[in-house]
Chain A
């Protein structure tokens, strides 16, 4: 069975329906990407999984239904969310942000994990006592990702990690995401407009258009699909 199984998921804002019944799944250890243009409903999809918007449909995580659960319950179940715009707490230091990420944990290994993420992101180690608000966009994105990983999640939801970052930084970031998935086996669901980089680390992918999934397949299939190439790879 899949780690995350989503069936006929609908979601919206008040009377406006954004997701019109989508089905997808993420298997243990996979990186799955959802591609889609601006406004197609990518952010809403992740918000629906995290319990931040009204939904209907089935969401089963690790064999348990999390449909309609509140965001903190979803987090406690083992799903971490790196929101669009990063969501770092600007008045906390880098280290406090990371410790905040471990909010749901009660074990004694938080310190060990801190060091691990400092090793992975030396930039954060240099700035541990600095307020997160003073950092560049790339550094804040690293912090947001490291903070999500501090929860030791089984699944990480990433909302357009490339947004607003310089191409070189984005490349480094995706390489790190690939490493994390390979080394720790953490499953990831990434929504992106930057298809090239996302498909490079993904196992499978879906294409979302105005709230419906129109194409699905392996990363290689998607990269070879003509429509996908035209719309998202700019070829």
Chain B
């Protein structure tokens, strides 16, 4: 019975997955460059959210500072491309590695604090990061903004058939996101994933089965930083720049967290969906305020209101789907499946 349900789920999942993938592969061929860039943005938001989910969802450590790791990835890529003539593609592993190393460096002192205090420490990271870039980065006109030459955004020579930079960026982000999604899938189903959850739910139990708390937490921190770093590197392909401002870095950090929560914490696919929704809802609310379909003229020019509308939409979403999109989808699926199948017999066995 359970076996059949599992097979059904696998088949449905494969079909839906292939359909979505097919649509995504076709998407950049049809859409305007601006839309392709928007979707690419959605994908790299999803990547950052996937990583944060490993830390916050699976390991229970809340960070509101991952915008900083995103920034580290973006600056690594932009500086290597602009100042040292690297190809953008080659910078991605370096951005990932650097974010990972800084993740270890931040994760070790972060071991001393938990919960709200950890959130505050990571917030500090988001606040300090822009200052550090202002001090050490020599960008356009002496600012901390680094712009890469537009030629560097073109696809590499060995790529087939006349891809535009935005299309190349989309396929690049999509490929990397699938690889990193596979990474999450392997992690959460394996030994390390069980340790992450055990540490989150029951530290004492985790240590008594032999889990090293410190190593597990630091590794979770560093892995999540790596994902954010890759997202930052990809952002350069879309925007052509690396930049860090106080509000911007903090805002990004919050948005990653929001993406995790609305997609579904501690689910494999949730953060990707959440990242997509966050980017799209934000875009829509900005458009909506700039050019309202009704109430003509009432909202226009009041861009300050768009965060408020964004916030209201999130609250509505969380009200109807408290366990995120994936959680809500699961409940729906369960309801459909249990209606179709007879209930399993209960209490057939006796305790030994």
A residues near B (Cβ < 8 Å) are: 50, 52, 70-72, 75-76, 80-81, 83, 87-92, 96, 99-101, 103-104, 120-123, 126, 129, 138-139, 142, 147, 151, 169, 172, 175-176
Contacts and interface: CB of A to CB of B under 8 A. Distances in A.
B188 to A, nearest CB: 10
Contacts of A90: 201-202
B204 interface: yes
Contacts of A147: 209
A216 B200 CA distance: 40
Nearest to A126: B349
Contact of B209 (A104, A122, A123): A104
B2 interface: yes
Given A121-B352, A122-B349, A138-B351, A87 B195 contact: no
Interface in B300-352: 349, 351-352
A202 to B, nearest CB: 20
A92 B351 contact: no
19 contacts: A52-B207, A71-B204, A71-B208, A72-B207, A72-B213, A75-B207, A83-B204, A83-B208, A89-B197, A91-B266, A100-B195, A100-B198, A103-B195, A104-B209, A120-B352, A123-B351, A138-B351, A142-B351, A176-B352
A99 B207 CA distance: 14
Given A104-B210, A121-B352, A123-B352, A87 B205 contact: yes
Given A88-B205, A92-B194, 15 more contacts: A52-B207, A71-B207, A72-B207, A75-B210, A89-B201, A89-B206, A90-B201, A91-B201, A96-B194, A100-B194, A104-B209, A120-B352, A122-B349, A123-B351, A138-B351
Given A120-B352, A123-B352, A151-B210, A89 B205 contact: yes
A88 B201 CA distance: 9
Contacts, number: 86
B172 interface: no
Nearest to B209: A103
Contacts of B209: 75, 80, 100-101, 103-104, 147, 151
Interface in B85-106: none
